[in-house]
Amino acid sequence: MNGPGNDTSATWLHDSAHRQFLIRDAKRALDFFDASAVPDGLAALDGAGRPLGDGVLELHVTTRLVHSYGLGQLAGRRDGAGIIDRGMDLLWRGHRDARHGGFVWALRDGAVAEGTKLAYGHVFVLLAASSAKLAGHPDADRLLADAAQVLEDRFWDRQAGLFRDEFTRDWQPFSTYRGMNANMHGVEALLAAFEAGGEGEYLRRAGGILDFFIARQAAANGWRIPEHYDDRWRPDPGYEGNPMFRPAGTTPGHSFEMARLLLQYWDLAGRPDNAAPTQARMLVETALRDAWLERGGLAYTLDADGRVARADRYWWPVTEAIGALAALIKLDPQPQDEDWYRRLWRFADAELIDHHRGGWFPEPGGPTSGQFQGKPDIYHALQADLFPLVRSLSRQAQALANTKPLKS
């Protein structure tokens, strides 16, 4: 069967045809992104799998490749292109700033192209190191320790219990901006670090960040999460920055991510109460109601009242909605969860997955995109493939290692 699943199955998570579809899509994506390995390290790719011509490699691209190939290796797919080794070397010898500490944002042909120090990039270093550790990489511990110390010393706002956002290369503050996005991925990285090493402070900090953005902010804002804040951690609804990383308004794709991360945290914490499942469901159902478009796909941004602000239909909110719904189905399935899960996969199969070369297009209609060059990364789509293949809400990397669904 070429499609995403079998309509006669009670749930696609247990449907053999759907599971084979997920495995096939994951393998084809990894095959496509093997071309990221170039003679001098790693490269971002265009839609055909060729290195982009500008030679720029941003920190989140390097780290997400390491993380994704770590998951792939755990799941049983050998990293024949050496992506993990190349990425770990680039992080330590290229992105890592031996003079000022921390990790620079971008390299060009191995030299520093952009020295800004962003929490968003640094938490991805922690994520990459944690996944590399779970995959058994010999250099993972030193990278994890280094990234954790920089996050502690430079970015962690102890009074607020949240991550500050940005500094110059030599650690001078140049804005008062505070954001949800870096903190959300901070939760992702902290939970991965906890799963990799068991240090309880990682789990505690992740829980505090989730409490601030979900129990306090989302609950007070119609279960939509304000994206942007001032230096006193007050929402700044008028802020508009980089259209990819800091668009104006709220971002429903982040509600899906936060819902999944909340359930992962809750599971790791021993399922202490029933608040987290209720909150996760409110985030997911609100985002689906607000953002699903009549022509299919999810709007990129909304205004504070949930009206569509930017109707661009990017791939990553679809992948994150799939992950969040898979988590809800694993925990407490409702009929609408299965309906949405299938609807999202059918849209992805028809509009976003590159059935010719592998990987996902950034928008419907093929490789041409107004916002993204080429195929931006493997990270979102690979997780949408892999996480539904295991039964657990947390420790999914270990579950992939135990079951090895990609081994063949």
What is the set of active-site residues?
254, 380
Q: How far is CA 37 from CA 26, 45, 189, 269, in A?
A: 18, 10, 24, 38
DSSP state, 358?
S
The answer to whether the CB of 233 falls within 8 A of the CB of 299 is no
The torsion angles phi and psi of 332, rounded to 5 degrees, stand at: -155, 75
Tokens of 263: 């359930």
In DSSP notation, 23-72 reads HHHHHHHHHHHGGGEETTEE--B-TTSPBPTT-EEEHHHHHHHHHHHHHH
CB 128 within 8 A of CB 70: yes
Do residues 371 and 312 lie in contact, with contact meaning Cβ atoms separated by under 8 Å?
yes
Alpha helices in 95-179 (DSSP H): 119-134, 140-150
Q: Which DSSP letter does residue 159 get?
A: T
Q: Report whether 261 contacts 187 (CB < 8 A).
A: yes
